[in-house]
Amino acid sequence: MMGAAVATMRRNLLLVPAIAVLGGLFLVPLVWFLVVSFYRVSLFQLVHEPNLSNYARIWSDYLGPIGYTAGISALIAVVTTLLAFVVAHLIWSRGDRWGNFLLGATLLTLFGGYLVKIYAWRTLLGREGIVNNTLVGLHLTDNPIDALLYSPLAVVLVLVSYLLPFAILPVYGALRPIDPTSLEAARDLGASPWGVLRDAVLPRIVPALLTAFALSFLVSAGDYVTPRMVGGTRTQMMGNFIESQFGLRMNMPLGAAMTFSTLLTSIAVIAAAWIGMRTFLRAK
Amino acid sequence: MKQHVARNLGLVVGILTVVFMTAPLVLVVLFSFNDSVVMTFPIKGLTFDWYRALLSRDDFWGALRNSVIVTLAVGAGSTVIGTLAAMVIVRMRPRVSALAMSLFGLPMMMPPLVLALALLTLFSALGVRLSLMTVVLAHLTFTMPFVILIVTARLRDFDTAMLDSARDLGASPWTAFRSVTFPIIRPTLFGAGLIAMALSLDDFIITFFMLGGGNTLPTLVWGMLRTGVDPSINALGALILLATLGTSALALRITGYRG
């Protein structure tokens, strides 16, 4: 017995490096970051006196930007999750060469280069870009539309396009174990295609849909590169405000407080999405 | 009739979505060979000028060197540490291992900006100098969960009877691992490492805050993006794409990972 216990203990030692990475490079920095959010800065030095002034400032000055960020991120997350479901369902239900082709395209875009994609969208949506040239060429508009680029719409387009492969894979992963022939039985017994989808498919993939939603929402809410590169000066998301506290303004405590306020809001939105999905995507 | 409409609508929306998702990458590759600064159709002629312009930049070679160092270090570190953890996690009772998996998975769900700023704040409090080393350490946090996920899934299918018989025949745990487990899971480890490398190579946000000076390939792209229209970005983008697609396609083929 002693030997077995010692062996288990020795085996658990293998976890030590991973715990060191998770603890030392993730949990401890996060906790310290939370502590710093209660400090303040004076003459570029941290003042170690806990107070709520940063949060008070966010409450009075930044509720608007937080709401705006949550709104635009929720829009991106909803659109991404819906489209991801359509593509994942297509891959799953087809299962033939078409399905494999779509799955391959999804996997290949997964690691396609974040900044490069943003650059490509800039050239696509710009005044001289392909979208405007096509619109003018087809005489759909007389002059190029400037608002395609440097607008909230551009931020939504770019982020949805970037996030789709990350959302498709978990949803497809959840659909894959469902046997299409078991659903044919329901169809044979007279269930409508929509009925099968609602009662037999959607309730089984709620966790994957939530993963897709949460991932899309969190990445959007924490992004500052996309709004800066394609959003124009009017699209200021929380990521931009947070990032500027670590660049020009050098106010780490305020930046930390902004981060945790945004994270808390994100958790609330994701919890609401979870409750919503559990309520509406349930077998009747 | 109505069923057909719904089915075809799904097909059309799905295909349009995939086009929308892949179009930027296709265009980057296409226009990297375009014989004009303006990026519009029709493409008039083909050229390698943008590649030549890119390769003649001094900062390109420094960035490439740094990216190679970071990517290899993250790939190796993440694979070793993640695999050791996975070997313990598969032996845990179901509830404990589920808890461990979600704990180790946390960094995957965190926006990169938060990971970067939390580490930056801690490093500046501790007086740690930023360097390629801090980039590598930061990259371990979000690549390790993928390795743990992939290797744990492989080890769960693993027939432990072989391992037990090796141990019964007197092999030490290390010998049993080296001669039984490792040869079988080697392709998975290789694939997991390549995925970690692809993720590391593509990261801009964390690298930007963790890198004291110099450039990696993504921060070089960032610098070029801010100077305006420069088709060399397309050439660099196409090269990064080739590298990441190459490694990840290889990884997916090796691991047989499908979603």
- Residues A112-132 have pLDDT tens digits of 678 888 888 888 887 777 777
Average pLDDT over residues A243-266: 89
* Residues of chain A numbered 207-246 and touching chain B (CB < 8 Å): 214-215, 218-219, 221-225, 229, 239, 242-243, 246
What are the two backbone dihedrals, phi and then psi, of residue B39, each rounded to the nearest 5 degrees? -100, 80
Extract the tokens encoding B204.
């801009």
> pTM score > 0.90 for this model?
no
Q: Which SS3 state, helix, strand or coil, does residue A42 take? A: strand
B248: confidence class by pLDDT, cuts 50, 70, 90: low
Residues of A with CB below 8 A from B111's CB? 218-219, 221-223, 239
Q: Do B25 and A117 touch (CB under 8 A)?
A: yes
pLDDT tens readout for residues B187-231: 888 888 888 988 898 899 999 999 988 899 999 989 888 776 778
Task: Answer whether residue A109 shows pLDDT above 80.
Answer: yes
Residues for chain B: how many in total?
259
* Interface residue of A9, A26, A246 to substitute, partner B, most B CBs within 10 Å: A26
CATH of A62-280, one of 1.10.3720.10, 1.10.10.10, 3.30.465.10, 3.40.30.10: 1.10.3720.10
B1: confidence class by pLDDT, cuts 50, 70, 90: low
- Burial (0-12, 13-18, 19+ Cβ within 10 Å), B20: middle
Q: Which domain holds residue B177?
A: 57-255
* B36 occurs within a structural domain: no
Looking up residue B100, the CATH number of its domain turns out to be 1.10.3720.10
Q: Say yes or no: A159 contacts chain B, CB-CB below 8 A.
A: no
Distance from CA of B21 to the nearest CA of A (A): 5
* B91 occurs within a structural domain: yes
Distance from CA of A117 to the nearest CA of B (A): 6
Residue type, A53: S
Residue of B nearest to A123 (CA): B39
* Domain range list for chain A: 12-51, 62-280
User: From the list B21, B112, B252, which residue is nearest A161 (CB)?
Assistant: B21
Q: Do A14 and B87 touch (CB under 8 A)?
A: yes
Q: Is the peptide bond before B94 cis (omega within 30 degrees of 0)?
A: no
Q: Say yes or no: A254 contacts chain B, CB-CB below 8 A.
A: no
* Residue partners of B129: CB distance under 8 A and separation at least 6: B212
Residues of B with CB below 8 A from A226's CB? none
Q: Do A107 and B21 touch (CB under 8 A)?
A: no
What are the two backbone dihedrals, phi and then psi, of residue A47, each rounded to the nearest 5 degrees? -105, 115
Extract the tokens encoding B254.
């090796």
* Residue partners of B81: CB distance under 8 A and separation at least 6: A17, A18, A21, B140, B144, B147
Domain count along chain B:
1
* B38 occurs within a structural domain: no
Which range in A265-269, B149-153, B173-177 is most confidently predicted, on average pLDDT?
A265-269
Do B120 and B211 meet the contact criterion of CB atoms below 8 Å apart? Answer: no
Question: How wide is the angle at C-alpha B237 spanned by C-alphas B236 and B239, nearest 5°?
Answer: 65
Do A65 and A237 meet the contact criterion of CB atoms below 8 Å apart? Answer: yes
Average pLDDT over residues B105-122: 92
Q: ipTM score here?
A: 0.87
* Residues of chain A numbered 38-57 and touching chain B (CB < 8 Å): 46
pLDDT at A47: 77
Torsion of the alpha carbons at A145, A151, A156 and A161, rounded to the nearest 10 = 50
What share of chain A in percent tops pLDDT 70? 95
